[in-house]
């Protein structure tokens, strides 16, 4: 059984919404910039992927709005966009008990940092009684459920940079098991605050010393020297195909397979041979009932780190051989939105399948000889494909791969 993608909600450094984001990824519109003047992370990152600030009071009712993390705000906005894009009103178009919500991410650590500093400066009375409901990792999913009256399965994932993709995988599992007709799934991340950015900076994981911030993220390129930390949120509405057909809904694509493995190797470093990622991709193909030759495009995890890019291309060769399918990493433009990246990249893969247009890896001026592959460079590749693979690999050795395929609903979308 597959799950139709009938709604997409995205808020990223390159734009908002499926059409705007996919256009940016194809034409090379970068979302990377110097930190805005006065931004809390200005002293911690040379370059970042920023989204506009949103007044929490516009999406969170009551006094809790004063102590709610940006992750919650972004999740609420993109969930609303995704449901509207799908044309779904919970309770009108679907039984609330047959709707699930799964949202990944590290949680509201920026707000926690703010409250810890407030307590240190003004004492215990400075700590808000609303702090927990502002920062707990399950709050994006909980707030979405409360706002839209979703009464089915609800969960959150904290599997680092794989958490958004894992949310989608679990959404497919819910639909396949018959436990839901509709699942809102995705991730929300707001990591651009001092302590979180400093830990990456002190580990020398972040891109540095780039006069042009738009050139800083360069997956698979010989000059890459780290990833660009970015914020954003993404939500997909997955829907049982029969349910979508019954209400006359159109789909961008189907999620047809998933795979998940653990490297069991190191907290931050991937297995050099990519063995865990190889098994993950093979499981995703088996879940979709496909062979490696069926995949027409790979949206790589491709963060622009030395070891990560090498390990992933080794894994791709282990699955597809030396002459694998066209591949690219859209993080060259968005930066690395941690768990959200997997959702945005799954959406990009779905749109690539729908449009017959495969976005390139920008900034890939000279391919690292240690990262061989059929890299799409300079401009989009126009090619009709039936299936795409999207990879997400996180700290702790968390691997998730998703297969996106041509929509099987009666009605298709390509915009």
Q: What is the pLDDT of residue 110?
A: 87
CA distance linking residue 3 with residue 254, whole number of Å: 5
Active site residues: 161, 301, 336
Q: What are phi and psi of 367, to 5 degrees?
A: -65, 130
Using alpha carbons, select from 162, 207, 153, 158 the residue that is nearest to residue 184: 153
- Tokens for 293? 């030759």
pTM for this predicted structure: 0.96
274/371 Cα distance (integer angstroms): 12
**Confidence at residue 108, expressed as pLDDT on a 0 to 100 scale:** 83
**Chain center to CA of 325:** 22
Q: What is the pLDDT of residues 67-83, one digit of tens each?
A: 889 999 999 999 999 99
> Which pLDDT value is given to residue 107?
85
With tokens 């693979």, the residue in question is 389
What pLDDT, on the 0 to 100 scale, is given for residue 111? 84
Q: What's phi and psi for 185, nearest 5 deg?
A: -140, 145
Determine the length of the chain.
Answer: 415
The single residue listed with the structure tokens 């998730």 is 400
Alpha-carbon span 85 to 14, nearest angstrom:
19
**Cβ-based neighbour number of residue 408 at 10 Å:** 15
Residue pair 405/282 in contact (Cβ under 8 Å)? The answer is no
Q: Indicate the helix (H) or strand (E) that contains 81.
A: helix 70-86
Tell me if 140 sits within 8 A of 189, measured CB to CB.
no
From the list 38, 36, 40, 72, the residue with the least C-alpha distance to 51 is: 36
pLDDT the model gives residue 415: 56
SS3 304: coil
- Report H helices in 28-87: 70-86
Q: Mean pLDDT per segment of 10 residues, for the chain of length 415 residues?
A: 96 98 98 94 95 91 86 97 98 98 91 89 92 89 97 96 97 98 98 93 94 98 98 98 98 98 91 92 98 98 96 96 95 98 98 98 98 96 98 95 98 81
């Amino acid at each position: 059984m597959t799950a139709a993608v009938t709604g997409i909600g995205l808020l990223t450094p390159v734009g908002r919404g499926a059409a705007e984001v996919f256009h940016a990824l194809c034409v090379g519109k970068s979302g990377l910039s110097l930190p805005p003047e006065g931004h809390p992370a200005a002293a911690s990152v040379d370059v970042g992927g920023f989204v506009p600030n949103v007044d929490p009071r516009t999406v969170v009712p009551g006094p809790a709005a004063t102590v709610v993390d940006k992750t919650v705000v972004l999740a609420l906005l993109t969930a609303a966009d995704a449901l509207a894009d799908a044309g779904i009103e919970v309770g009108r178009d679907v039984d609330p008990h047959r709707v699930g919500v799964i949202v990944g991410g590290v949680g509201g650590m920026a707000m926690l940092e703010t409250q810890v500093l407030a307590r240190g400066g003004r004492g215990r009375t400075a700590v808000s009684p609303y702090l927990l409901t502002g920062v707990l990792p399950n709050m994006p999913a909980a707030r979405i459920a409360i706002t839209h009256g979703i009464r089915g399965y609800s969960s959150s994932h904290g599997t680092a940079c794989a958490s958004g993709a894992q949310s989608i995988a679990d959404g497919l599992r819910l639909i396949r098991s018959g436990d839901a007709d509709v699942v809102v799934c995705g991730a929300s991340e707001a990591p651009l605050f001092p302590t979180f950015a400093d830990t990456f900076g002190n580990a020398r994981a972040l891109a540095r010393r780039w006069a042009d911030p738009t050139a800083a993220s360069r997956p698979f390129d010989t000059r890459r020297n780290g990833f660009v930390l970015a914020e954003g949120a993404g939500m997909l509405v997955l829907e049982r195909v029969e349910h979508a057909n019954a209400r006359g809904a159109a789909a961008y694509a189907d999620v047809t397979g998933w795979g998940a493995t653990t490297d069991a190797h190191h907290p931050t470093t991937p297995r050099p041979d990519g063995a865990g990622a190889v098994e993950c991709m093979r499981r995703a193909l088996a879940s979709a009932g496909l062979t490696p030759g069926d995949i027409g495009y790979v949206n790589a995890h491709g963060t622009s780190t030395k070891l990560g890019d090498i390990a992933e291309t080794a894994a791709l060769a282990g699955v597809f051989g030396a002459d694998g399918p066209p591949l690219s990493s859209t993080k060259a433009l968005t930066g690395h939105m941690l768990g959200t990246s997997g959702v945005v990249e799954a959406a990009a893969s779905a749109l690539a399948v729908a449009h017959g247009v495969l976005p390139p890896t920008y900034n890939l001026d000279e391919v690292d000889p240690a990262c061989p592959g059929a890299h799409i460079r300079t401009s989009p590749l126009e090619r009709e494909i039936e299936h795409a693979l999207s990879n997400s690999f996180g700290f702790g050795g968390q691997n998730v791969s998703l297969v996106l395929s041509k929509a099987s609903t009666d009605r298709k979308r390509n915009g």
